[in-house]
Amino acid sequence: MAQDIENELEKIARKFCFVNTLKTQNSDDLDFHDISAASLKAALLAAYEAGKNEGGA
């Protein structure tokens, strides 16, 4: 995955899901997160909009 896409996804994860990194850390406590459906929806919409703005949708 291109680095700019990875950076955008991490920015969205931090903003909407309060997840600091999307990198595997080999720890259940660090790799699995409880998030609300509303936060997940907001993150998915942000990712969709980012892709649409880049001409990817």
Backbone angles phi, psi at 26, to 5 degrees: 55, 40
The pLDDT tens digits of the residues spanning 1-57 come to 688 999 999 999 999 999 999 999 999 999 999 999 999 999 999 999 999 988 755
pLDDT at residue number 52: 92
pLDDT at residue number 2: 87
Complete DSSP assignment for 1-55: --HHHHHHHHHHHHHHH--S--S--S-HHHH-----HHHHHHHHHHHHHHHHHTT
The answer for residues whose C-beta is within 8 angstroms of residue 13's C-beta and 6 or more apart is 19, 21, 22, 43
pLDDT at residue number 56: 53
